Structure 1
Amino acid sequence: MEGIMSDSVSLNASKERGARTYSGYLMFAVALVLLGIFIWSIFRAIEMQGGIGNIGACVGWFVAFTIASSGFYMLQPNQAASITMFGSYQGTDRKEGLRWVWPWMTSTKISVRANNLISEKIKVNDLRGNPIEIAAQVVWRVTDTAQALFDVDDYKAFVLAQIEAAVRTIGSRYPYDDIEHKEVTLRGNHDEVGAELRTVLMERLAVAGITVDECGFTHLAYAQEIAGAMLRRQQAEAVIAARKKLVEGAVTMVEMALHQLSEKDVVHLDDERKAAMVSNLMVVLCGERDTQPVVNTGSLYQ
């Protein structure tokens, strides 16, 4: 069913093509010439005291001048005009300046410039089910004017709706954060997630003849109702991670100390004294406060 629907969409998709239009500057000159001939024909008819032929010539030159003076439109840089005749698409004109088409044709202007859009903040549940607030910035532009005008009802509203849908899709695929940095997250992998967001948007906007130049997140945070709890959780995870690194380093240093003492034959320790030394070193290395040294002036076993 999906394959049939996609095939029908591709068959019904419009495609931009060049329109047959003319230089407006040339037609302006032609209109001035026709206006001059029309005025001359009026004086000619007055001199000849009317006559069907002279009156018919005046009417003919007036109609020609009316046709030539109609159909002008102006195109700025990075602006296009879709030409239709009695509802049928005739092509798109992308040549800037003063342009002209036959009066019975209609021109609809459309911008092909880059548009910068910042979406509103929306609430999404991430991969772990945590509610987050997210907003995106998207730079998009029209590449196929026929699709933008005739394949969707309102291409600007279509862009807004698809951006929101794509942001929700990407936001639910990844967790907000990962303290162990073992998976892709929204907060820690901006470039990778932004590239996937762009891919999803281009797939969604292709039906409207729109491409996405760049995109990224402008706002990313936990929702207000869990922001405090998640902050405490992040702080706890950070403390645990720091303690883990500290203990791993302390164990390595104690192991190195015992090995060097034994290897260099500095002192011989039994198992009980080794355990006491390990305990003291771990306290010194893992403690948060400065330790006070105690000098033993007696024997090792006192």
Structure 2
Amino acid sequence: MAADIESPAKKTSENRELARRTGAPVGARKIVKPLRSIAIFGAVGALVAGIALPAFASPKPAEAAPTTLQQLAAVDAQSLVVASDATAAPLSRGTFSATTPEEIAKKKAEEAAAAAAAATAAAASAVSTSSSSSASYNSAGYALTSPGSGEVRYPLPLGSWTVSRTIGGGHNGADMIAAAGTPIYAAAAGIVRVSTENIGGYGVAVMLDSVVGGQRVQTTYPHMLYGSRQVAVGQTVSAGQLLGYVGSTGRSTANHLHFEVWVNGGLVEPISWLSANAG
């Protein structure tokens, strides 16, 4: 037992040796060990605070704003996501319009021509009809080409017909009275839109789509003889080409050609139009 107990003299000797090495007083040994422990715990605490506290202090990320189709496509055109508040507007053909200067100019020209044709047609409808082919009609605004150019031709041989009735009162053409079998010619070069043995009150009829003086012109040739048509749908014809022969099919009481002319979708008086353009 006596050997296990450290003697005061030995303890004092150890304290002196420690003081000699550290340069501290002998009594400071009791303070050094607690300070060392405090320093260690302080370092550990600082390390923990440096790692954990920034994570707790990080602000909550803001909610991402809805991404529109255009915004996303600008960043990555291969990935398209439509935001929940984006809606698809239905498109219809009527929403499209001319955008180029050429299209706008063409549209304005067509509208002006249609307005002029409508005004002339209204004036012509007030003109009294005549049984003579030499009757005078209002042809103002109908000229689309030079009469001597050959671009427009009379649909029947000159001197073979007379006019019994023209447009007005729901009648859309000029009735050109002629003998059965009189040849009917294309008034202008174009594409055959209709060629049929029966189309309502028109009976045997041919209809052409043409362009005269840069304007869309549609001409109609009804009441032909059965089996007399010389052209088919989709066929290209020239001005003056034979289309068929005068008859009295459909809603008709006599042999005649009911000749109709439409310019840019507007109905015009046929005899006035021929007078201004045919040669």
Q: TM-score, normalised by structure 1?
A: 0.25
Query: Greater helix percent: which structure?
Result: 1
- Which structure has more RCO (C-alpha within 8 Å, separation ≥ 6)? 2
